[in-house]
Amino acid sequence: MDADNQYAQALTHLYEKSLILHDMALFNKVLAFYFIDSIAHLDYTASIYTYNYQSPKNIMGTEYLRWRIDEEKKSDRAQFPAFINWLKREHPEKFARLPSLWQMIYDTEDPASYRSFRIVLDPDSRNEIPSDMFFIMIDEFFDPDFLKSLYADASLATLFEAYIAQNSPP
């Protein structure tokens, strides 16, 4: 790894973050899953730009991301993408405060997606995601107000539960 590599610096920025002031056990379970999942995708994408594709770090990341494919289909987790689009329609002010990665990946009108576990913002472009975008996305996920909204009794979690109640089969 080249110490001057901007993607390595983004990874360092991610690894220096801490959740010590938060009790993830009290987060809404679905939101906690997608929070960690998004961090894993950020880590994996920056790692692909930083390390050799066959490095142990990238192999381990691939294994986690393979596992999560089945996990995202379990219980209310499968409702998360539709929830994000519901927020966009019904609560645009809340949607606008979500981390940009969630806005881009789960908005059905946005071309961004996870491709081979990498974050791809524009499928027609072969350019890497600019390193400064990683810093922005990481900071958004660790914003104190966003983290507070993930607790089971907090704003985003409450909206998710309301969405599930409205959209669950009788």
Q: Is 107:84 a contact under the CB 8 Å cutoff?
A: yes
pLDDT band at 45 (very low <50, low <70, confident <90, very high): very high
Mean pLDDT of 20-34: 95
Mean pLDDT of 54-73: 89
Mean pLDDT of 6-19: 96
Q: Tell me the CA distances in angstroms from 82 to 5, 30, 33, 89, 127, one per residue in order.
A: 37, 13, 16, 11, 29
Does residue 1 register a pLDDT over 60?
no
Mean pLDDT of 145-149: 97
pLDDT band at 68 (very low <50, low <70, confident <90, very high): confident
Classify the phi-psi angles of 117: left when phi > 0, otherwise alpha if psi is within -120 to 50, otherwise beta. Answer: left
Mean pLDDT of 82-98: 97
Rounded distance between C-alpha atoms, residue 13 and residue 4, angstroms: 14
- Domain spans, the chain: 6-15+25-167
Does residue 57 register a pLDDT over 60?
yes
Please give the model's pTM, rounded to 2 decimal places.
Answer: 0.92
